[in-house]
Structure 1
Amino acid sequence: MSLLNSIDRDHVLTAIETWDAAGGANYMLVRGGVSTHVLLHLGREYDAAAIAGIAHGLATGRTLTPADIPGGSAGASKALTRLGFEIRDETPPAERVPGTRPSTRSSTSRTRPAAGRNTGTPRPTRVAASDKPDTLCPRCFIAVPATGICDNCD
C-alpha cells in the first residue's frame, strides 16, 4: 500500500490553498531544482511532489518531502492523476510515467526537424580500442609494439 493512498481530493485542494497562502511559488527556488511533474489547477502550476507531501501531512499528520514519496515526483503524479488532477510530465520520453501527459505549452511552438537533417551538434563517435590506429615508426612505417621501440629499426 502506497503512502499516498491516504490522501483524497479535498486534502490536495487544501494543500494547494496552504501552498498559495504560504507563498509556495518560491519552494522550487529554495529546493534548488525544477520539478519534472507539474500539477495544473485553475491556471496555476504547482510542484506535484510538494503538494502530495503537504496533502499527506493533512491526511495523516506527517508531511512528506519529495524524497519520502515512493517513486518520487513520478509516484506523486500517479497519485494526483488518480484523484482527477491534471499533471504535466516534463521528463524525457524514455523515463515518462504511464498515465501522465507530456509537456504541452501553448505559448511556444515546437517544430520537429525534417527527417534526415542533422540540426544539432554532432555526437562524438566511439571507437573501439581495436579500431584505433597503431603508432607507426617514423622511419620504416611499421606498427610499433607497446614498448614504443621499433623492432626493425632499433
Structure 2
Amino acid sequence: MSLLNSIDRPHVLTAIETWDQAGGSNYMLVRGGVSTHVLLHGGREYDAAAIVGIAHGLATGNTLTPAEIPGGGAGATKALVRLGFDVRDDSPPPPQRVPGTRSTTPRAPRATTARSTTTSRPRVAASDRVDKLCPTCFLALPATGICDNCD
C-alpha cells in the first residue's frame, strides 16, 4: 500500500484551509525554491507537495516534508489527481534528442590528456610504415635485412 493512500479529499481540503490560515503563501520563500507541481483550487495556487504533506499529517498524525513524499512533487501530483484535484506541472521539458545520436545533448569536445599531447606526430597506416632502416644510409632495408646500397 502506498504511503499516500491514507489521504482523502477532506484531508486535502482541510490542509488547504490550514495552509491559508498559517499564511502559507510565504512557505516557498522560506523553503527557498519554486514549486514545479502546483495545486489549483478556488482560484489560488498551492505547493502540491506541501499540501499533500499536511494532508498526510491530518490523516495519520505524521506530517511529511516534500522530501519524504514518495516520488516527490510527481508523487504528490498523482495523489491529488487521484482525489479529483487540478494540478499544473511546471517542470522544465525533458531535453531534446540530438538527431543521429543516442545522446540527448551535443557531445562536448574531448579533453586532451597528457598522453595525447605528447604524441603529436601524425598517424601512419600500418601498410605505410617502414619496418627497418639501414643504420648507415637510412634507406629501407629489404626483407633480407641487408642494405642493397651499402653492402
Q: Normalised by the size of structure 2, how large is the TM-score? A: 0.65
Q: Distance in 1 between matches of 2:9 and 2:107?
A: 50
Give the corresponding residue for 2:125: none
Give the corresponding residue for 1:11: 11
Q: Distance in 2 between matches of 1:55 and 1:37?
A: 16
Superposed CA RMSD in Å reads 2.5
After TM superposition, the structure 1 stretch with the greater mean CA deviation from structure 2, 9-18 or 85-94, is: 85-94
What pairs up with 1:3-152 in 2 under 5 angstroms?
3-94=3-94, 126-128=108-110, 146=118
Q: Distance in 2 between matches of 1:70 and 1:12?
A: 17
How many residues are aligned here?
108
Which has more helix, going by share of residues?
A: 2
Q: Distance in 1 between matches of 2:110 and 2:119?
A: 21
**Structure 1 counterpart SS, 2:11:** helix
Q: Which ranges in structure 2 are unaligned for 5 or more consecutive residues? A: 96-104, 121-151
Amino acid at match of 1:2: S
Q: Distance in 2 between matches of 1:81 and 1:124?
A: 36
The structure with more radius of gyration: 2
**What CA deviation, in whole Å up to 9, does each residue of 1:52-108 have, x standing for no partner?**
00000000001000011000111001000110000000112329xxxxxxxxxxxxx
| Cα displacement (A) at 1:126 | 2.6
Pick closer, same or farther for the CA change 1:129–1:69 going to 2, 3 Å.
closer
% identity of equivalent residues: 77
Q: Distance in 1 between matches of 2:25 and 2:18?
A: 11
Q: Distance in 2 between matches of 1:70 and 1:19?
A: 21
| Cα displacement (A) at 1:39 | 0.1
Q: Normalised by the size of structure 1, how large is the TM-score? A: 0.64
Q: Distance in 1 between matches of 2:51 and 2:110?
A: 48
Amino acid at match of 1:73: G
